[in-house]
Structure 1
Amino acid sequence: MSEVVQKSKLAKVAAGSMGNLTTEQKNEALLLMADALVTESAAIIAANAKDLQRGRELGTSASLLDRLMLNESRIAAIAEGLRQIVELPDPVGDTLETFDRPNGLRIHKIRVPLGVIGIIYEARPNVTVDAAGLCLKTGNAVVLRGGSAALHSNEKIVEVLHGALERSAIPADALQLILNADRSSVDEMLKLNGLIDVLIPRGGHSLIQNVVNNASVPVIETGAGVCHTFIDESADLEMAIRIAINAKAQRPSVCNSMETLLVHEAFAEKHLPAIAEAFRAAHVELRGDSGALALVPSMNEAVDSDWGTEYGDYILAVKVVSGLDEALDHIRMYGTMHSECIVTENAANAERFLQEVDAAAVYHNASTRFTDGFEFGFGAEIGISTQKLHARGPMGLPALTSTKYRVYGSGQIRE
């Protein structure tokens, strides 16, 4: 029996008892997990150092190493994320609807756990804790398969969390980590119908598409983020620069960072050099189309592939557009339905942008970096869904539940 099957079976058994746990029992377990992370932070950092060293030897980029790196403050923040989940309402057992039928049947629609959630992700060990906390709070068991880049970090983190769970009412088997870093372990998870109830991929475009295209287990698609900011003709310059710099440079490695800046031609003629200078000061490489290059010749020339690339780095594609129509067309062509922003003082243009752009989150005069579970008040998120079924946008606790109809009768039979 493979590791994937063995651990998924353990999770399936554990999931059978998870629905009986009280909110208090689940919260107590999460607090124990948070405390254990802080207490064992030195051991986690030591394990993380092995991953960082391997990453440097393999030539991993600075932005990816940043995603991978753990220190005391980051571990404390991850632990605080678990404590914040404790403070959030438990959706399991909520009655969403009740109604009576003419034949006397009483029907209640309630929230229930999904069951066993499989999560496939890459080089961010904080996802290990976020996923565990959200899944366990909602009464789900979870099978985690992280990337090889964070293998030592994830193994130590799960070891620490298991130690905490053994002192709680939650069975430790409800949290499983696949240690086999070969792609075959991912391929196996994609076909584990009957053991895994839903898969959630988190990572780059190729990982997500592999899961979406090859899984027979149901998938909640979390999208790659080719996010845009469109600076309209009427935009306030200071606001536009502040939003654009934040959207790109505040943390370029994450999926809600901006990858393409679209600038109205009239605004660009007046202000693109100043915008470019602000990005240079933020150490961002600019790749411009012909219109941008004409105004700022020091930019690198963009190629066709730049418009659809999620850089995850200090690189930004810049395009000068004739107006809102061209901006909308460009986003329709290259956007990934994640997060899109318009900076404008024109209320009609803002409303049209918000209405017509097909994305999980659309912004008027605010950075795309806010597409995040914490910023939306959901607590730590399991991912940002870019699909349209079940859940969309930052996925907090309710997105990790399904529904069940409880039907109460007094002997009714169907004629």
Structure 2
Amino acid sequence: MLFDLTFSQLMAVLAFVLAAFVVYVLTPLMGALARRMGAVSVPLDERRMHVDAMPMLGGLGMYLAVVITVVLVAPWGDTVKAVIVGGSAITAVGLIDDYVQIRPLVKFLGQLAAIGGALAFNVRMESVSLPFVGAQVALPLWVSLIVTILWMAAIINMVNFIDGLDGLAAGVCAISALTFGLIAFSLYRVDTAIVSFALAGATLAFLRFNFHPAVIFMGDAGAMFLGFVLAVISLQGVLKTSATVALIVPLLVLAVPFFDLFLIVLRRLWRRVPFYRPGQDHVHHELVLVAGFSQRKSVLLLYGWCLLLNGAAVCMSQDWYVAAAVLGGLAAVATLFLVLLLVRTRRRNRNGLSGADAVTIDGDAAATTRSATGGDAAAAETGVEPADR
């Protein structure tokens, strides 16, 4: 059952509240520190969606909140150790990149080092359950290591990818963390559940400062830390079980960033452009720059899409298949609507009706101009799709 761990639930609530409180207190201090250090995002090119220089140390506050919380509240096990060791490593890499902008290869090597920290505490995909068949396939150690590295690297970078609009990455990660927490409770994985709720509390509190109009960004440090923790709790939760839906559930939970990652890789391979190069061809960018939605409306639309998919994931994990089918069907309709909307608007732009129109973001005086095919032309040459926009 989903709700029968009373003491553990209280610990999860405590973790949620404590992490939220720490973020609420630290974030203004992180903003002041960032301005003093010069760790700010300056809108130097058209791919950036903000107008003023923005402090970028919000992620450091979330990192401190989660680490402090899990040390004080969560059972001391492999999940907590992996979050502290690997999370510290990846946050350090992100902080360096936020301050001096390191090369993509160096950043990726830093990500691998953090993933290695998680692997050291046995955070890995040990087996794969085949959906609808019921068979569980044990993975050889070398296959397990490769699959785990690919899985974690994908989640780390796709969270970084979606951090392109105010509040988007924080909100999506909050929804995903809450979902992973509920599922972990149903599997009696208390340490993973408490880490999940700590992450949810930290990200929801950060939205107080990061939802449009944002006053601080999480930076690469925050985006990569959030992605790392989501990767850990996905591996330590449902993927550690023999349930037939073990592989489907985390894919549903993270479907929105996975969808964006898939489209970006596909598009850039087609154009023969490095997939890690910054650009304005993400789904969230196109909702603003192609479809003409405000930042706030675009983010809320993606929140709704994410909630449907996460609801389906929870229902599927509890064998509530009718409810899962209904929510999954609604999510499929939302996906089709989104694709048709962007395709139709792109076609209209290509026909010259609005190909170079100025799009005002949420009514701000400053407007961002984009041609129908100009997404990559003005992209900067450095960074692995930065969170600093």
Q: TM-score w.r.t. structure 2 length?
A: 0.28
Q: Which has the higher contact order (CA 8 A, sep 6+)?
A: 2
Give 1 or 2: higher helix fraction: 2
Q: Which of the two has higher C-alpha Rg? A: 1
